[in-house]
A and B are shown apart, each in its own frame.
Chain A
């Protein structure tokens, strides 16, 4: 099981859309993925360490190093294949490298 942390600024639940989009597509591609959605300001280093992949809406600036692979997932929000496919491909290639 691959654990993904999706993140966005608060207010309109974009991280939930990223979570749902990633879970749905990765299931289609045959991977077991479980994603959680959080707001960026609530993220701590300890929290990130519980996950395999970090999928924020855009590259966030943190005071600490992110110890896991980061895939910027914002383009998924457009819900058009030309935008979302590269994100899904990148997630898939990270999953393959993780060899779980």
Chain B
């Protein structure tokens, strides 16, 4: 998981009280814009992208009772960095299922993928999948309260 450790940043771990996709994407996009890692077009692009190609992942095939996650992302042209932004949702938000878009899931964690390299060979998705399909990882995540604890856990510190 060495690849992932470099992609998380201490200041890119968030917790949000938003109750809709629109709200959380607006909130996070403006913070990312301030930090210079996305372009202004990012907010609209990620909202539109999520409605056309949803990214919710049902974790019930991994184990019953696990919270669901989503991996929002958009085209490289709207991004200015390579990173994974982690967002803990204090109110679960409905996302549609990436592999069955007609189904809705309540999602507790977002792993937002920021990528500005079109020819990027490192596969963030497979690394994330490896993390999320390990029951112990998600269960540990559930016990962590502060953004710092979450960062330390995600980066193995």
- A-side residues, CB < 8 A to B, are 8-14, 16-17, 40, 57-59, 72, 74-75, 77-80, 82-83
- Please indicate the chain B residues that have their CB under 8 angstroms from the CB of A16 in the complex: 123
Tell me the complex Cα distance, A8–B120, Å. 16
User: Given contacts A9-B49, A77-B125, A77-B129, are A82 and B73 in contact (CB under 8 A)?
Assistant: no
Q: Is B146 interfacial (CB 8 A cutoff)? A: no
Which residues B97-129 have CB closer than 8 A to chain A? 97-101, 113, 115, 120, 123-126, 129
3 A-B pairs with least C-beta separation:
A74-B99, A9-B53, A11-B73
Q: Is B75 an interface residue (CB 8 A)?
A: yes
Q: Which residues of A contact B74 (CB under 8 A)?
A: 11
Contact between chains at B61 and A83 (CB < 8 Å)? yes
- How far is it, in angstroms, between the C-alpha of A40 and the C-alpha of B74 when the chains are bound? 14
The interface bits of chain B over 45-62 (1 if a CB of A lies within 8 angstroms of the residue's CB, else 0) are: 000010011000000011
Is B76's beta carbon under 8 Å from chain A? yes
User: Per-position contact with A for B61-77: 1 when CB-CB < 8 Å, else 0?
Assistant: 11000000001011110
Size band of the interface chain B makes with A: 20 to 34
Q: How far is the CB of B98 from chain A (nearest CB, A)?
A: 6
Partner of A78, one of B49, B52, B71, B129: B129
CB < 8 Å neighbour of A11 from B61, B97, B113? B113
Question: B113: shortest Cβ distance to chain A, in Å?
Answer: 5
Contact B125 A12 (CB under 8 A): yes
Would A40 and B99 count as touching, CB distance under 8 A? no
Contacts of B130 in A (CB 8 A): 79
Chain B residues whose CB sits within 8 angstroms of the CB of A12 once the complex forms: 71, 73, 113, 115, 124-125
The interface residues of chain B lying within 8 Å CB-to-CB of A57 are: 98-99
* Chain A residues in 8 Å Cβ range of B53: 8-9, 40
Give Cα A78 to B49, complex, Å: 21
